[in-house]
Structure 1
């Protein structure tokens, strides 16, 4: 039996956009198995996944040996190195996998040397291209649909009951992902507060999604809201999204998780990152118009706070998008 180990230890969004590769392989190679090796933070989103048999967590370099033994025990025999890292290549080789491709990228003081070359402009097409180049599988790139694992058994009923209670507090279900790990990619909280107050006038209390560390950040945004930071798992987000009228998100992992919800309108705010590559196919993109955008650098910015790309996006632009697409009707 062919057992494919797909390795992508990059961000949550990258992993979500790699899931179509697993589907393509699973649907075209009979009786194969698919294993996914991801960073520890991405493990949960692949649990209960219809196209993934095993999920392996890379926690730290000190636990590599145990991880290699786990992969060997499952007898994975072919590896696809999606993240392009030399360390991932070596890990797969030590796990007795045939290397279908190799990565050579190494990081030194946050600088990348011998970086992986993109196979396509859009990330979702880029990662899926390995099915064609390595396995000679044809597919329709226009039908690449990312998918995360299903929520735990019974959680759908819990969310359904919770949503019915929430509907007593708000006229519409509006989801907001207000924060990323990189501050430079976050929308100005003053403008976000204006959006919140605007929704409040429409008898809407938006639901804010985030990690436990985002709770205070969300509470400090002006206006009435429902703060569920840390209260639900990442795999619960699509189930919640099924009941939403629309969502708004920064460029972050939960944006791509929300994009797996069929027909959910999503407003995606972009500053330093490139929406051409990263924006979900179903997203309504609002991008800064500064000439330096996208700079692809979210570790630092020479512009003072208040004059950066995400500061340049004003509430009125988002308000116009809401009106244009009739998202509150």
Structure 2
């Protein structure tokens, strides 16, 4: 029986996207054993995934220590993988790849380190199928095993239990949600202010929604952003239709709450990725230095739409370099 390892550094969105590789490996090799190596902060997004047989987690700070890296490298070598897929190809994952002795070591064609791998591929600059390179390029790493990409399943998935979904529904009910009208979750902020649509614009959007539709709105934010929430609430006319206490204590609880809602409007980021994996309708607002071609996943489907500054001011992107836009989004 074949055994494969997927290495994915970084956080929730990247790990969720890379989990598509596990599903497709299982489709290509029905009896393959698939392991996943990721940050311990991202484990929850993979729990209960039937396509992943083992999760090997690590602390991103600890892995930078040579002794810890060596320990993991020896462990992975002892597992005797046939296939190793390394989409992100950071220094630590390259080191692990080099010592793994896997028969197939697959990544992207990057300078200096491509000889660590048996198969390397040039990343596509533009999407072809589902409107985002982040997933399509990762699936490009399946090329040694599949020639007809029409057979690839690009859909990300989160596998919640019935108990998780019911618990979230009860939390919502206890907070005053009656489930008699549409429930919209709004991700009012990104992970930082430079990735967040200005609060005054978000307030205008929320006021238009509440003036025109009979809906309940749940705010999604992290506790550290409570001050910004208070600022936003001061600008909103019908505060009684806003619920700010139903946050979820972790990623899975948030996903379960979202599974009981009807749609998500948010700054593009992790919450949008979770909604798309649950196949909930989304409207996402991109930060000017992030691009739809990379993360506008599944916008070939009617239920997912987005807005980008480029839609109304394309001239900005010829007048300024990407670095200038990044410094002043």
Shorter-normalised TM range: 0.7 to 0.9
* Pairing partner for 1:83 from 80, 85, 88: 88
RMSD: 3.1
Q: Does residue 156 of structure 1 match 2:177?
A: no
- Contact 1:272 / 1:293 at 8 angstroms: preserved in 2? no
Q: What is the CA deviation profile of residues 157-216 of structure 1, one whole-angstrom value per residue up to 9, with x for unaligned ones?
A: 211223344423984310112222343221001111222333444454421223343343
Instruction: Label 1:78 to 1:142 Cα distance change in 2 as closer, same or farther (>3 A).
Output: closer
Q: Which residue of 1 aligns with 2:306?
A: 285
Q: Which residue of 1 aligns with 2:15?
A: 15
Q: Which residue of 1 aligns with 2:177?
A: 167
Partners of 1:235 and 1:248 in 2: how far apart?
A: 19
- Contact 1:159 / 1:239 at 8 angstroms: preserved in 2? yes
Q: Which residue of 2 aligns with 1:71?
A: 76
Q: What is the CA deviation profile of residues 55-80 of structure 1, one whole-angstrom value per residue up to 9, with x for unaligned ones?
A: 22232212323433553565434211
Shift of 1:6: 0.9
Instruction: Label 1:144 to 1:226 Cα distance change in 2 as closer, same or farther (>3 A).
Output: same
Partners of 2:151 and 2:245 in 1: how far apart?
A: 35
Instruction: Label 1:18 to 1:207 Cα distance change in 2 as closer, same or farther (>3 A).
Output: same
Q: Does residue 254 of structure 1 match 2:265?
A: no
- Contact 1:210 / 1:229 at 8 angstroms: preserved in 2? no
The DSSP-based 3-state class of the residue aligned with 2:206 is: helix
Q: Which residue of 2 aligns with 1:216?
A: 227
Instruction: Label 1:67 to 1:215 Cα distance change in 2 as closer, same or farther (>3 A).
Output: farther
Instruction: Label 1:21 to 1:178 Cα distance change in 2 as closer, same or farther (>3 A).
Output: same
* Pairing partner for 2:204 from 194, 200, 224: 194
Q: Which residue of 2 aligns with 1:113?
A: none
Q: Which residue of 2 aligns with 1:265?
A: 281
The DSSP-based 3-state class of the residue aligned with 1:21 is: helix
- TM-score calculated relative to the size of structure 1: 0.76
Partners of 1:297 and 1:35 in 2: how far apart?
A: 37
- Contact 1:24 / 1:139 at 8 angstroms: preserved in 2? no
The unaligned stretches of length 5 or more in structure 2 are 112-120, 128-132
Shift of 1:155: 1.6
Partners of 2:225 and 2:251 in 1: how far apart?
A: 14
Q: Which residue of 2 aligns with 1:53?
A: 53
The DSSP-based 3-state class of the residue aligned with 1:134 is: coil
Instruction: Label 1:248 to 1:45 Cα distance change in 2 as closer, same or farther (>3 A).
Output: same
The DSSP-based 3-state class of the residue aligned with 2:316 is: coil
Partners of 1:159 and 1:229 in 2: how far apart?
A: 9
The DSSP-based 3-state class of the residue aligned with 1:191 is: helix
Q: Does residue 92 of structure 1 match 2:97?
A: yes
Q: Which residue of 2 aligns with 1:314?
A: none
Q: Which residue of 2 aligns with 1:244?
A: 261
Deviates more, 1:15-24 or 1:59-68: 59-68
